[in-house]
Amino acid sequence: MKMKKIVSIMLATVMSISLIACSNNQADTNTSDKTASKEESKSQYDTLVVSLGDVNGIFNPYFATTHYDNTVSYPVFSHVSKLSDDNQLIDDAGNISYKEIKDDAGNTTQVEYTVKLKEGITFSDGKPLTIDDYIFSLYLALDPAYDGTNTLSSLKIVGLDEYRNGGDAVTEISGIKKVDDLTATITTDGINIVGDRLLGNTQILPKHYYSVSDDGTEYKKGDMTVPKSRNNAPLGSGPYIFKSFENNLASLEANPTYFKGEPKTPYIKMQVVEENNKVDAVIKGDVDITDPSADKETMARLEAEGIQYNLVDNNGFGYVGLNADRITDINVRKGLMHLMNREPAIKSYYGDIAQVIERPMSTVLPEYPENASEYYGYDPAKALEYFEKAGYKKDANGKLVNDKGEQLKIEVGVGDLKNHPTAGIFSQMKLDMEAMGAELIVSDLAFNVLVDRINSNDLDMFSLAWSDMNHADLTQMFHSSLAGKPGSNNFNLRDPEVDKLLEEISVTLDFDKRKELVAKELDLVMDNAVIMPIYQRKQLYTFGNNVKTETIYKSSSPFHTYRDEYHLIEMK
């Protein structure tokens, strides 16, 4: 059988390499051997190549802080439930249901969720998936020492406070009960609008693998060392088995025991590709699926080259974040907000494929405030007024300084500046600040370096995008309890009124009331001047000529994509 030829791709920070030549590992050796033995295959190619952005190598979904790390691990794991095209939960490795427990007056006092796993599912190492694995996954995210991005602890699970605050003596959460080998119940106080999603739409980790390290050390409450020791070698029950990550290349192999059927394509390679090389890579056949930015030049080129694609609304948004722990004076933050000239930059970069938004929430969600007005318009004179309110004034040398003689100096981090939609914003901002006697340092960073610096509290401002926004509970983004946590509230926003609104939103089932609360919450977040929403864009997926594009899942929805149906993709 002819093996797929994978040619060189120029990467952002490394030399031009051949994907096969640079990965002389066991996974690639096995690929060659198995390719030769699969004479019955009708496909000319046996490897699907998917592009990646920069990764940090944390392939545990409970601790990953970047979208691309999660991209690598996504096909490795199964969920109890996934999302449908219309943003509803559908069964995956199991089912989640619930019933309300009411008092004598008919008020809901508790909710009992039931998780039921399918029979006969195994992890890729052959061991059965049971409810103990699911419960272990819950306990990991609920551990008092847990420092990942999962927000399961925001659920008021019965007994959770005692578990988190009762020390080593409290070893169980009373509201989580095992019913049988495939079933558990989780009881919460009150209602939560995302309770079923938090409990169902999360990956199931095998307890036997993530609770014991290679040297035999066992996981104990209050210590994340053992589960984190597996971060670079994920193991799950999904359609593909992780084999290796070397030289910016992740290698995965089909899981023959996958409960939905063995994947149609034997191997997946996920290759880090620089943003401005993604279109070239798919045109040349170097990659089969990639996600270039849907700007106007890219769309024109894809049309001219006859490359097939799927363009959908993105359930996320681009923004500029301000770190309130580093820019402590709100007047300085408000002044900086008035220096972001968004419309020309976004129009120039995207054309009509994206639009400027006024609140920090994806517009695909029905709770996004209608007719939201501009909160901070571009106005250098207004910006200078705010800087002066913060105590800055020009010295004899024309520098804008505070009463200690320190010049106003701000550093903003951007990933791949020359290909970034905010480049025009910061170019103008830099000129405006120089005219005032202040300084804007624009640091062009590799994406993984940008994320590391944000998580280390090492940047005043940063340009990022939020992804996978599927509901209106923005606890992860803005709640004080998550300030400074990697992948969460990196703005270090601490506002009791915002917290109160977030908590109220999470229990408000009435849509009109919830929408009203969300509008108040987002206005208050804007008033804190820690985030400037920049754009709502389209998500673009392009498909190369070596893959049977009719086997790739496509829809107009951002909630269920080809990633949820990897096992069905076939090569030509």
Share of the chain above pLDDT 90, in %: 82
Residues 472 and 412 in one domain: yes
Residue given tokens 């550093």 in the structure block: 411
Task: List C-alpha distances in Å: 402 to 245, 261, 278, 430.
Answer: 49, 66, 46, 19
Task: List C-alpha distances in Å: 164 to 170, 173, 211, 225, 561.
Answer: 8, 9, 19, 18, 36
What is the end-to-end Cα distance of the chain in Å, rounded?
Answer: 13
Q: What is the pLDDT of residue 371?
A: 87
- Residue pair 498/489 in contact (Cβ under 8 Å)? The answer is no
> Is 224 a member of any domain?
no
Interatomic CA distance for residues 289 and 566, integer angstroms: 11
* pLDDT surpasses 80 at 181: yes
Nearest to 258 by CA among 236, 230, 242: 236
Interatomic CA distance for residues 246 and 22, integer angstroms: 8
Residues 420 and 519 in one domain: yes
Q: What is the pLDDT of residue 117?
A: 98
Q: Which of the four pLDDT bands, split at 50, 70 and 90, describes residue 5?
A: very low
Predicted TM-score (pTM) of this structure: 0.81
Residues 94 and 193 in one domain: yes
* pLDDT surpasses 70 at 455: yes
Q: Which of the four pLDDT bands, split at 50, 70 and 90, describes residue 447?
A: confident
Residues 411 and 451 in one domain: yes
> Is 4 a member of any domain?
no
Residues near 106 by beta carbon (within 8 Å), at least 6 away in sequence: none
Residues 417 and 520 in one domain: yes
Interatomic CA distance for residues 433 and 393, integer angstroms: 13
196, 314, 505, 518 alpha-carbon torsion, rounded to 10°: -170
- Residue pair 269/48 in contact (Cβ under 8 Å)? The answer is yes
Could you tell me the residue range of the domain that residue 306 belongs to? 26-72+238-313+539-568
* pLDDT surpasses 50 at 25: no
Residues 368 and 474 in one domain: yes
The two structure tokens encoding residue 443: 């640091």
Residue 324 sits in a domain whose CATH number is 3.10.105.10
Q: What is the DSSP string of 209-248?
A: HHSB-TTSPBPBTTB-HHHHTTTTS---SSSEEEEEEETT
Q: What is the pLDDT of residue 91?
A: 97
Residues near 5 by beta carbon (within 8 Å), at least 6 away in sequence: none
Query: Quick one: average pLDDT of 508-532?
Result: 97
Spacing of C-alpha 453 from chain mean position: 17
Q: Which of the four pLDDT bands, split at 50, 70 and 90, describes residue 276?
A: confident
* pLDDT surpasses 90 at 453: yes
Residues 298 and 385 in one domain: no
Query: Quick one: average pLDDT of 325-354?
Result: 95
- Residue pair 561/289 in contact (Cβ under 8 Å)? The answer is no
* pLDDT surpasses 50 at 36: no
The two structure tokens encoding residue 196: 């079923």
Q: What is the pLDDT of residue 30?
A: 36
* pLDDT surpasses 50 at 501: yes
- Last residue of some domain: 210, 225, 260? 210
Q: Provide the domain count of the chain.
A: 3
Q: What is the pLDDT of residue 535?
A: 95
Residues 157 and 274 in one domain: no
* pLDDT surpasses 80 at 531: yes
Q: What is the pLDDT of residue 18?
A: 25
Task: List C-alpha distances in Å: 444 to 89, 411, 461.
Answer: 39, 11, 12
Query: Quick one: average pLDDT of 277-302?
Result: 92
Spacing of C-alpha 459 from chain mean position: 20
Residue 545 sits in a domain whose CATH number is 3.40.190.10
Contacts 24+ apart (CB under 8 A), 112-115: 112/185, 112/186, 112/187, 113/185, 113/186, 113/187, 113/188, 113/195, 113/196, 113/199, 114/179, 114/183, 114/184, 114/185, 115/80, 115/183, 115/184, 115/185, 115/186, 115/199, 115/200
Burial class (CB in 10 A: 0-12, 13-18, 19+), 159: middle
φ and ψ at residue 419, rounded to 5 degrees? -115, 25
**Over the chain, what is the mean pLDDT?**
90
> Is 438 a member of any domain?
yes
Residues 283 and 356 in one domain: no
